[in-house]
Amino acid sequence: MYPSLKRDSRFSELTNEHIQFFKSTLGDDAAVIDGVSKDATDDLEPFNRDWMKKYRGHTKLVLKPKSTEEVSKVLKYCNENKLAVVPQGGNSGLVGGSVPVFDEIVISLSRMNKIRNFDDISGILVVDGGVIMEIADNFLAEHNHLYPLDLGAKGSAQIGGNVATNAGGLRLLRYGSLHGNVLGIEAVLPDGTIFDDLSTLRKNNTGYDLKQLFIGGEGTIGIITGVSIHCAQRSKAINVAYFGLPSFEHVQRAYKEAKIQLGEILSAFELMDARSQAFVHEVTGNKRPLEGDHPFYCLIETSGSNTEHDSEKLEKFLEHVMGEEIVSDGVLAQDETQVRQLWGWREGITEAIGHFGGTYKYDLSIPIKELYSLVEETRDRLNSKGLVGDDDSYPAIAVVGYGHMGDGNLHLNVPVRKYTQEVEDAIEPWVYEWIQKRKGSISAEHGLGIAKKKYIGYQRSDTMLKLMRQTKDLYDPNGIMNPYKYI
Amino acid sequence: MYPSLKRDSRFSELTNEHIQFFKSTLGDDAAVIDGVSKDATDDLEPFNRDWMKKYRGHTKLVLKPKSTEEVSKVLKYCNENKLAVVPQGGNSGLVGGSVPVFDEIVISLSRMNKIRNFDDISGILVVDGGVIMEIADNFLAEHNHLYPLDLGAKGSAQIGGNVATNAGGLRLLRYGSLHGNVLGIEAVLPDGTIFDDLSTLRKNNTGYDLKQLFIGGEGTIGIITGVSIHCAQRSKAINVAYFGLPSFEHVQRAYKEAKIQLGEILSAFELMDARSQAFVHEVTGNKRPLEGDHPFYCLIETSGSNTEHDSEKLEKFLEHVMGEEIVSDGVLAQDETQVRQLWGWREGITEAIGHFGGTYKYDLSIPIKELYSLVEETRDRLNSKGLVGDDDSYPAIAVVGYGHMGDGNLHLNVPVRKYTQEVEDAIEPWVYEWIQKRKGSISAEHGLGIAKKKYIGYQRSDTMLKLMRQTKDLYDPNGIMNPYKYI
């Protein structure tokens, strides 16, 4: 699977003695899947493969501790015995960060799934690391609050994993990043030390904010066992509008106007290019929301506490941008069904594109002004090399761009009839060089994992990498935590 | 000044040779205030004293570099020559963090005051560390954006200092903390290394987020020379209401209702107790906003994009909380003058209290449910010891509580006729023990500096302190950065 990688010989091989220790420590049959003393390939399979079936490892052991103390005992033993480990939440990541590369032990947080506390005055939620995102959000909905993150994998993604990967998603524009919303973290360091910073305070200015290192640390310096997070009031009113626009210049003007006129109720501003919408139409057969063809489409969502006020603001905004010819055409969802239908034109893109074969996917941050230039330049590049076209003789089908416009986050997708070295070589590392020149990010929200590890030099200076590696060495001197990945 | 502290003998004494190096490196007469080769006591005075005149140091040298490269050269030399330094921004801190303790060299950022860039589509501002907060906010106002922080010292506080102290202030409830809003930091490490992480991206998931260590790092691991920060759209409409309430239980209900009904437009929920408002009335002589006496008062501010909508929401909210008898009485500002007048009853407290002599001040975070219990218990405690009363025979005048209710941030103030050991011993360390039991914070927004250093053990576990000291040793092995303070 990874021809350039070799198993690190510093790490011990698993023995029956190790297994005995884990079984007696965790004391529950359900807590250990043991593929060392017997064949357990099928039971281990879901922990060895990611959901895209793109990455695979060869673990022989899965441990499911039930408490922070158990995590501590297990990690301390692994550290002393030089056993490499991979922390695993919902295993819904996109960069191969949560599956083993070789025979690392998987430590699954799935049995640490308690909601510890919720204060409905402050809106502060405290949970075990293994609580599933959607379960937390449903619980919060009953208390008129919302989990400040939303993403496609919410039905399986765990909160500890959200934090470890610094997941972004659909609500970032409105509710901000986890670096601001996470108030406290409890984690276990490789030597078994319990990092006890599960503060439930919005303001706390007492020393270095070390918990931030675990946010986006991708399980390389410790395992997150508890999270305290600030949750906002749930909005009563959700409105959605969908526009067609003549150019990316117009998209930028529309975004600027939306920020001014919709201000505090703006909760999403999504960009979709013509090609992405054609794919959704072709695959779903759904009637298009607007007549005619437009080079660009946007979806705007507002969330607020008063339906009438929000509708009035959105209607006024629509009138303005159509009157000024910033947008060519637009439609406003009239009910919840239409809200879901319009969102389908954005959320259905990934599936529609995947329908035809493979896809080269890039999750990039780019200064907004240049956001779409990359799609155009990639299209020109593949065109000039004769690699993209409508008939089956071309390896690539199209070059598609969409994403979270408000966050400067572009998803560049190149659907292909089959994966070929030619197409890959035409895009990489060129795309990373392009990003490097604009000081963008080679991974906006997916993280590094094993997929982006080799490209980190396009993003970070030698100084920053040196400092990051110092942090890794300080927290994990034996290098047992999620090896072969990250920086 | 600090009888228990001794000058650390590891640090060199300043010589004329050192001065020569700094003069030739900075190459500008205005860049060096030299109290070594000549008497410059008066010129050095503002750098040796904080604005409260509570802390004082004895520096003989102030350096004012004009670029990141100059900061780098200066720090590298100091590190090699074991010269201790204190980074200084606007010197408006409250815990003695920005003035020297002994003869540390002051490195003032005052000449690094350029606004480097602003993107009015994304709302991302990039500035030198020495840019004054109010200047940035005025600049942003011209572009319909706002600096996401507001505090009394904004006319002198610098952005680098805001970030280094992780300042909280009045806008945190709405716009969140600097850990979420700061997108990039450029800093110089003690060995002269330039920490180049001045990203202007909202999403960037590529390695440990080390810049977070500088946010609230209080100048102990490096000097912040550049900041990139996300700024929100400036609201067109500001509304303010002022209430009287019968109990703290009612204050909590009012806050909960405000979150539900005002949701996205709520920008401040401030708490003032009866005694605090009596002080403001006594000192200013202003007519009280409400008839009669109430045990508690609250100030609510809303900021939004539509004046009519916001007024309607606030009026409906007022009707509801008065109808339900959650508040006893209330008034809504009718124009900008009244907005300022009502805010005066909150913002005027510090000055009014200070009118009678000294004040013991505590800036605490407490879970909201118990927020006001501390004021009551402190009052009972001083009463039972016969230390507080109306006539001049008592050392303490009153026990007063107010603060940012929405952030769980209480300012406990004990104005005294004169400072006495008896009053101090009655409050400390008792107040810190009280906070420790409730898992609150001994410093919500002011930081540690030299004032709170000795109490950090009430807040942080030995594990957390050990990890923090490892970070300090990693970045500043010679310990030259802002010594004698912090953790």
pLDDT single digits (tens) A431-444: 999 999 999 999 99
B56: in domain:
no
Instruction: Please judge whether A197 and B233 are an interchain contact, meaning their C-beta atoms are less than 8 angstroms apart.
Output: no
Name the nearest CA neighbour of B251 among B379, B375, B162. Answer: B375
Question: Does any domain span residue B166?
Answer: no
User: Is-contact A180 B177, C-beta < 8 A?
Assistant: yes
Contacts of B467 in chain A (CB under 8 A): 195, 210
Residue B148 domain flag: no
A187 three-state secondary structure: strand
Calculate ∠ Cα B181-B184-B188, nearest 5°. Answer: 130
Helix ranges, B285-371 (H): 307-323, 336-347, 349-354
- Please report, as a single letter, which amino acid is at residue B363: D
Within this chain, do residues B275 and B314 fall inside the same structural domain, yes or no?
yes
pLDDT of residue A121: 92
What is residue B74's three-state secondary structure?
helix
Looking at the fold, whether B287 and B259 belong to one and the same domain comes out as: yes
Cβ contacts of A200 on chain B, cutoff 8 Å:
367, 439
Instruction: Please determine, for residue A1, whether its predicted confidence score (pLDDT) is greater than 80.
Output: no
Q: Are A241 and A225 contained in the same domain?
A: no
B207·A216 Cβ contact <8 A: yes
The CA distance from A22 to the nearest CA of chain B, in Å, is: 26
Q: Is residue B389 assigned to a domain?
A: yes
Question: Which residues are CB-contacts of A373 (< 8 A; sequence separation ≥ 6)?
Answer: none
- The residue written with tokens 């807040």 in the block is B459
β-pair type (A61-63, A105-108): parallel
Judgement on whether residues A321 and A247 belong to the same structural domain of the protein: yes
pLDDT value at residue B64: 98
Say whether both A211 and A119 belong to one domain: yes
Q: Which residues, listed in sequence order, are joined to residue A362 by a DSSP beta bridge?
A: A412
Strand B232-233 relative to strand B296-304, pairing: unpaired
- Among the partner-chain residues A179, A221, A439, the one whose CB lies closest to the CB of B209 is A179
Minimal Cα distance from B257: which residue of A?
A: A121
Q: Which residue of B has its CA nearest to A457?
A: B206
Q: Is the dihedral of CA A106, A107, A111, A117 positive or negative?
A: negative
- Domain containing residue A394: 356-447
Give pLDDT, residue B78.
Answer: 98
CA A193 to chain B, closest CA, distance in angstroms equals 8
Give CA torsion, residues B82, B83, B89, B91, to 10 deg.
120
Residue A169 has pLDDT above 90, yes or no: no
Inter-chain residue contact B212 with A213, CB threshold 8 Å = yes
What is d(CA A262, CA A265) in angstroms, rounded to the nearest whole number?
Answer: 6
Q: Which residues of A touch B256 (CB under 8 A)?
A: 120-121
Yes or no: say if B441 and A203 are a contact pair by the CB < 8 Å rule: yes
A66 to chain B nearest CA, in Å? 23
CB contact under 8 A, A265 and B261: no
A131 and A96 in a common domain: no
Pairing outcome for strands B105-108 and B61-63: parallel
- Looking at residue A384, its amino acid is S
User: Do A158 and A87 share a structural domain?
Assistant: no
One domain for residues A124 and A225: yes
Sign of CA dihedral B444, B449, B453, B455: negative
Confidence band, pLDDT 50/70/90 cuts, at residue A111: very high
Q: How far is CA B228 from CA B48, B124, B212, B234, in A?
A: 29, 7, 13, 18
Proportion of chain A above pLDDT 90, given as a percent: 93
For B346, the 3-state DSSP assignment is: helix
Considering A170, A203, A233, which residue would you say is the last residue of a domain?
Answer: A233
Are A166 and A67 contained in the same domain? Answer: no
**CB-closest option in B172, B260, B443 to A206:** B443
What is the distance between the alpha carbons of residues A322 and B89, in angstroms, rounded to a whole number?
48
- Residue A171: what pLDDT? 86
Distance in angstroms (rounded) separating the CA atoms of residues B252 and A120: 11
Chain B residues whose CB is inside 8 A of the A195 CB are 463-464, 467
CA distance B191 to B222: 9
Tokens of B315: 């009026």
pLDDT score at A51? 85
Task: Name the DSSP letter for residue A14.
Answer: P
ipTM tops the 0.90 cut = yes
Is residue A419 included in any domain, yes or no?
A: yes
- For A445, which of B122, B205, B404 is closest by C-beta distance? B205
C-alpha B201/C-alpha A459 separation (Å) is 12
What is the 3-state composition of chain B as percent helix, strand, coil, each rounded to the nearest 5? 40, 20, 40
**A23 vs B376: CA distance, rounded Å:** 52
Q: Over A122-136, what HEC string results?
A: CCEEEEECCCEHHHH
Q: Among B121, B202, B263, whose Cβ lies nearest the Cβ of A304?
A: B263
Whole-angstrom distance, CA of residue B273 vs CA of residue B297: 6
Chain A residue closest to B235 (CA)? A263
- Residue B216 CA to residue A64 CA, distance in Å, equals 36
- Least CB–CB distance from B176: residue in A176, A261, A409: A176
Q: What is the pLDDT of residue B53?
A: 84
Option in B180, B459, B471 nearest A180 (CB): B180
Is there a domain that residue A165 lies in?
yes
3 state DSSP class of A308: helix
pLDDT score, position B356: 85
Q: Do A121 and B467 touch (CB under 8 A)?
A: no
| CATH number of domain containing B330 | 3.30.70.2190
Domain contains A48: yes
For residues B168 and A91, the model is more confident at A91
Q: Which residues of chain A lie closer than 8 angstroms to B122, CB-CB?
A: 367-368, 408
B379-392 as b/e, with b when 16 or more CB fall inside 10 Å?
bebbeeeebbeeee
A425: enclosing H helix or E strand: helix A421-427
pLDDT band of A365, cuts 50, 70, 90: very high
A209 → closest Cβ in B179, B260, B409: B179
Q: In this structure, are residues B440 and B365 in contact, taking their beta carbons and an 8 Å threshold?
A: yes
Cα of A384 to nearest chain B Cα, Å = 31
Per CB-CB distance under 8 Å, the chain A contacts of B193 are 463
Alpha helices in A117-247 (DSSP H): 133-142, 159-165, 172-175, 178-181
Q: Is the pLDDT of residue A464 over 90?
A: yes
Q: Looking at chain A, which residue has its C-alpha nearest residue B486?
A: A207
The Cα–Cα gap between A166 and A180 comes to 11
State the best of B203, B212, B441 to mutate against chain A, taking most chain A CBs within 10 Å.
Answer: B203
Structural domain count of chain A: 4
Q: What is the DSSP string of A237-269?
A: EEEEEEEEES-HHHHHHHHHHHHHHHGGGEEEE
Three-state SS string over B369-408 comes to HHCCHHHHHHHHHHHHCCCECCCCCCCECCCEEEEEHHHC
For the stretch A195-205, pLDDT in tens is 999 999 999 99
Question: Distance (Å) from the C-alpha of residue B393 to the closest C-alpha of chain A?
Answer: 37
Mean pLDDT confidence for A139-164: 95
Residue A356 has pLDDT above 90, yes or no: no
Distance CA B256, CA B317 (A): 11
Inspect the interface and report whether the beta carbons of A309 and B305 lie closer than 8 Å. Answer: no
Rounded Cα distance between A381 and A387, Å, is 9
Instruction: Mark yes or no for CB contact A121/B203 under 8 Å.
Output: no
Residues of B with Cβ-Cβ distance to A441 under 8 angstroms: 199, 201, 203-206
Q: Which amino acid is at B117?
A: N
Please, what are the averages of pLDDT over each run of 10 residues along chain B (487 residues)? 90 97 93 95 96 91 98 98 98 95 98 97 97 98 96 94 93 94 98 97 96 98 98 94 98 96 94 98 97 97 94 95 97 94 94 89 94 98 97 96 94 94 96 96 95 94 98 98 97
Cβ neighbours of A260 in B, within 8 Å: 144, 233, 305
In this structure, is the dihedral angle defined by the CA atoms of residues A85, A91, A96 and A100, taken in order, positive or negative?
Answer: positive
Residues of chain B positioned with their CB less than 8 A from the CB of A474 = 470-471, 474
Q: Edge-to-edge strands of the sheet including A32-34?
A: A32-34, A61-63, A105-108, A85-88
Q: Which of B60, B65, B47 is nearest to B128 (CA)?
A: B65
Give B417: exposed, middle or buried? Use CB within 10 Å, 0-12, 13-18, 19+.
middle
Specify whether A228 is located in the same domain as A317: no
pLDDT at A170: 83
Subunit contact B203:A313, Cβ cutoff 8 A: no
* Whole-number Å distance between alpha carbons of B251 and B256: 9
Q: Cα–Cα distance between B49 and B59 in angstroms, integer? A: 10
Provide the pLDDT confidence category of residue A181 given band limits of 50, 70 and 90.
very high
**B225: phi then psi, degrees, rounded to nearest 5:** -105, -15
Query: Using N-to-C axis directions, what is the helix angle for B68-80 and B16-26, rounded to 10°?
Result: 160
Question: Could you say which of B286, B308, B338 is where a domain stops?
Answer: B338
Are residue B334 and residue B365 in the same domain, yes or no? no
Find, in chain A, the residue whose alpha carbon is nearest to that of B219.
Answer: A208
Contact indicator for B151, B157 with CB cutoff of 8 Å: yes
Judging contacts by C-beta atoms under 8 Å, the chain B residues touching residue A180 are 176-177, 179-181
Chain A residues with CB under 8 Å of B195 CB are 463-464, 467
Same domain for A243 and A342, yes or no, is yes
Residue B136 contacts residue B147 (beta carbons within 8 Å) = yes
Chain B interface disruption, residue of A205, A260, A365, most B CBs within 10 A: A205
- Asked which of A304, A320, A348 is the last residue of a domain, the reply is A348
B395 in a structural domain: yes
Residue A145 has pLDDT above 90, yes or no: yes
Question: What is the β-pairing status of strands B105-108 and B85-88?
Answer: parallel
